[in-house]
Amino acid sequence: MRVAVLGAGTMGGPMARNIAAAGIDVRVWNRTRERAEETGLDVADTPSAAVDGADVMLTMLADGDAVQEVAEAALDAVGDDAVWLQMSTVGIAANERLAALAEERGVAFVDAPVSGTKQPAESGDLVVLASGPSEARERVRSVLDAVGSRTVELGEAGEATRFKLVLNTWLAALVESLAETIAFAEAIDIDPQQFLTAIDGGPLGADYANVKGKLMIEREFPAAFSLSLLRKDAGLVLDAAERHGFDAPLIETVAAVCDRAIEAGHGDEDMAAVFCAYER
C-alpha cells in the first residue's frame, strides 16, 4: 500500500511518520515544504505528484477550504481504485462539498476526523471517527490503526463529521470553563492549584483540567492545538447548530471569549491561552 499524506503540519506530520512506522509506503506534501521534510519521509513537490500511484489520499489540513483547494489539485492524478481518507475537521457543509467532489471524480470517500492533539498524534493514540462505505473503510484499516489507539465505527460518510462536532462542543466548553474557573479563583484570592488538586481523581475531575490548568497557571502556552483552531471548531459547531435549528448559547460565549484572547495576540498559542481573555 502507498499512502499520500497531504498536510504535514502539527497533526499530519506525526500521523505520516506513524503510518510509515507501520510498514506502509508514505509520500508527503505540505504547502510549506520544510514542514514536510521534517517528517524524514519522501516529499512531493505538488499534491498531484504526491498522490500519483497512491492507494490512499489522506488529507489533514486546517479547514474545509484548504482541503478542497488541495484535493482539486490532486484528484485528477488519483487512480480509480484509490480511497480518499479525509481526516481534517471541516464541519458539515464543507464535508458535503468534499464528498460531492469525490463522487464527481469517482473516488471512494471515507470521512474520518480524529480526536486528539499534538502529543497523541505523535504517539499514535488519536481516537479516529470513521464513516463511509464499509469496503473503503476496510481498505484503509491499517492506516487508521497506525494513527489511532481506537476507531469509533459509524455509518455513512458525514456521520463522523457530525460526531466530531459533538466532541468539540464538549472540549470547547471544558477548556473555556476551566479558564474562567482558574481566573475566578485568582480574582478572589484562592490558589487555583489547590482547586486542581481538590478535583483530581474525584467525580468532578478531568485529566484535561490538570494538563491545561497547569499551562494557565504558569502563563505558558506551547501549542499542542492552537487557540485559533479551537475558535474555528467552535464556529463549525455554531454553523451546525444554526443549520439544525439548535440554540447553542454556551458555545456562542466560548467563541466570544476565544475572540478576545485572539485579539490580544494569542491565536497561535495553545488553546489554553483562552485564559488570557480574563487577564486584568
* CA angle 98–101–107, rounded 5-degree value: 105
For residue 154, CA distances in Å to 132, 158, 160, 191 come to 8, 9, 6, 43
Give the position of cell 469496503.
135
Indicate if 164 belongs to the active site.
yes
**Which amino acid is located at 47 in the chain?**
P
Based on its alpha-carbon atoms, the radius of gyration of the chain, rounded to whole angstroms, reads 19
Tell me how far apart the alpha carbons of residues 70 and 201 are, in angstroms, rounded to a whole number. 44
Q: Which of 164, 212, 214, 232 is catalytic?
A: 164
DSSP secondary structure letters along 123-170: HT-EEEEEBS-HHHHHHTHHHHHHHEEEEEE-SSTTHHHHHHHHHHHH
* CA angle 83–114–150, rounded 5-degree value: 90
Nearest to 159 by CA among 128, 130, 116, 126: 130
Strand, helix or coil for residue 177: helix
Tell me how far apart the alpha carbons of residues 280 and 261 are, in angstroms, rounded to a whole number. 12
Q: Report the Cα 206 to chain-centroid distance in Å.
A: 20
* CA angle 146–152–157, rounded 5-degree value: 100
Query: Which residues are part of the catalytic machinery?
Result: 164
